[in-house]
């Protein structure tokens, strides 16, 4: 399995994402410059956190038109997994690959702390290694993580089990319905404000982010490399990724 | 022909505006407690060339729809003025 981590001018969690994939999975992972036109040969794409283009105009608004985003869109539409973390989530909503938008935090503070989130579904290629209802500790670091979707969109998200993570305890940014992460209807594009890549080693204060990467590998193995331990829980995930490889 | 577009981008009603709320509180603290609501937005001024006003209007509309406003949370309006050559 091969991972691509997209690097925009202003990305600052790209190296963390590369190291997390390498450390947790030990698979090939390349940092891909935003001017690159093709992601052929990559099985999973990570859009990392940071401040692409200085958050000018709106967070993610300019990054979504970078040349590499055409390839990311193609990758997503082919059913292959795309994980957007923090600024990556903002970029994916701006690009229309995920519904809704991320507004400035309700209290206007930049929050940098470890929060508790609950895994709401494991029927995704990103969360199959978690239990539903499992509470995990992940870092957040953002000023614009206040997820907004209108009532109709929110109803859609609930009806199709697209809310993947919710904040537990204090809502750190004012997100509607305490949403910390969502998937698209096809379940192969995940956007989340918390940083799983910063929670993969005890020295970082938590290892609870590692199963995100493990889930991706197990899902991929279940599809293309024979049985794996997550096969039973990966039924929904299979159809989500079925278009991944012709 | 040369034009100037003055574009205002504001949050849709129903979308919370934490910045506006903070400005209301700051104004009240300074004694302007008659202010009941503030909505903060963006103001952009751009200069462009186009063969006529209709084309200029179409182009600015396309810019707003594509990049300058996010239709999920924002709405926009603009005025277009012809400038001297």
Domain boundaries, chain A: 2-244
**Could you tell me if A14 and A52 are in contact, meaning their C-beta atoms sit under 8 angstroms apart?**
no
Mean per-residue pLDDT, B61-75: 97
Where do the structural domains in chain B lie, given as residue ranges?
A: 2-83
Choose among A61, A146, A148: nearest Cβ to B67: A61
Q: Is A194 on the interface with B (CB under 8 A)?
A: no
- Pairwise CA distance, residues A33 & A9, whole Å: 9
Domain A2-244 falls under CATH 3.40.50.880 = yes
Mean per-residue pLDDT, B30-53: 97
Q: Is B18 on the interface with A (CB under 8 A)?
A: yes
- Pairwise CA distance, residues A20 & A145, whole Å: 22
The catalytic residues of A are 86, 195, 197
Checking if the pLDDT of B9 tops 90, the result is: yes
* Pairing assessment for the beta strands A101-103 and A111-119 based on DSSP bridges: unpaired
**Could you tell me if A234 and A218 are in contact, meaning their C-beta atoms sit under 8 angstroms apart?**
yes
Please state the separation of Cα A105 from the chain's center in Å.
19
| Residues β-bridged to residue B83 | B2
Whole-prediction pTM: 0.90
**Could you tell me if A102 and A145 are in contact, meaning their C-beta atoms sit under 8 angstroms apart?**
yes
Question: pLDDT per residue over A93-151, tens digit each?
Answer: 999 999 999 999 999 999 999 999 999 999 999 999 999 999 999 999 999 999 999 99
Cα end-to-end distance, chain B, whole Å = 7
Structure confidence at residue A226 (pLDDT) = 57
- Residues within 8 A of A (CB atoms), B 56-85 only: 67-68, 70, 72-73
H-type helices in chain A, by residue range? Answer: 14-25, 67-77, 87-94, 151-159, 210-224, 235-241
Q: Is A204 on the interface with B (CB under 8 A)?
A: no
- Pairwise CA distance, residues B9 & B19, whole Å: 14
Joined tokens for residue B29: 């603290």
Cβ within 8 Å, pair A57-B67: yes
| Interface with B, mutate which of A57, A171, A177 (most B CBs under 10 A) | A57
- Which CATH number is B2-83 given? 3.30.1280.10
Mean per-residue pLDDT, A4-8: 98
């Amino acid at each position: 399995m091969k991972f691509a981590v997209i690097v925009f001018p202003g990305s600052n969690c790209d190296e963390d994402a590369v190291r997390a994939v390498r450390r947790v999975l030990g698979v090939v992972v390349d940092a891909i410059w935003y001017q690159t036109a093709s992601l052929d040969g990559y099985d999973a794409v990570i859009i990392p956190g940071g401040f692409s283009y200085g958050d000018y105009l709106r967070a993610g608004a300019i990054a979504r038109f970078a040349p590499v985003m055409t390839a990311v869109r193609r990758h997503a539409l082919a059913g292959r997994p795309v994980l957007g973390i923090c600024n990556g989530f903002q970029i994916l909503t701006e690009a229309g690959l995920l519904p809704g938008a991320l507004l400035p935090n309700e209290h206007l503070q930049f929050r940098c702390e470890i929060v508790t989130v609950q895994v709401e579904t494991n029927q995704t290629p990103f969360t199959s290694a978690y239990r539903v209802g499992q509470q995990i500790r992940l870092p957040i670091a953002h000023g614009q993580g206040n997820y907004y979707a209108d009532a109709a969109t929110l109803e859609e998200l609930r009806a199709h089990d697209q809310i993947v993570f919710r904040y537990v305890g204090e809502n750190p940014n004012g997100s509607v319905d305490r949403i910390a992460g969502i998937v698209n209807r096809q379940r192969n594009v995940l956007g989340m404000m918390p940083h799983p890549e910063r929670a993969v080693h005890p020295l970082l204060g938590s290892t609870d982010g590692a199963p995100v990467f493990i889930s991706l590998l197990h899902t991929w193995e279940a599809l293309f490399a024979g049985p794996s331990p997550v096969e039973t829980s990966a039924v929904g995930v299979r159809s989500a990724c079925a278009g991944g490889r012709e | 022909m040369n034009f100037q577009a003055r574009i205002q981008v504001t949050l849709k009603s129903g979308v919370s505006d934490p910045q506006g709320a903070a400005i209301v509180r700051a104004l009240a603290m300074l004694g302007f407690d008659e202010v009941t609501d503030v909505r903060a937005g963006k103001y952009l001024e751009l200069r462009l060339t186009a063969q006529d006003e209709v084309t200029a209007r179409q182009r600015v509309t396309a810019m707003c729809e594509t990049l300058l406003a996010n239709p999920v949370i924002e709405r926009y309006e603009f005025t277009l003025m012809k400038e001297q050559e």
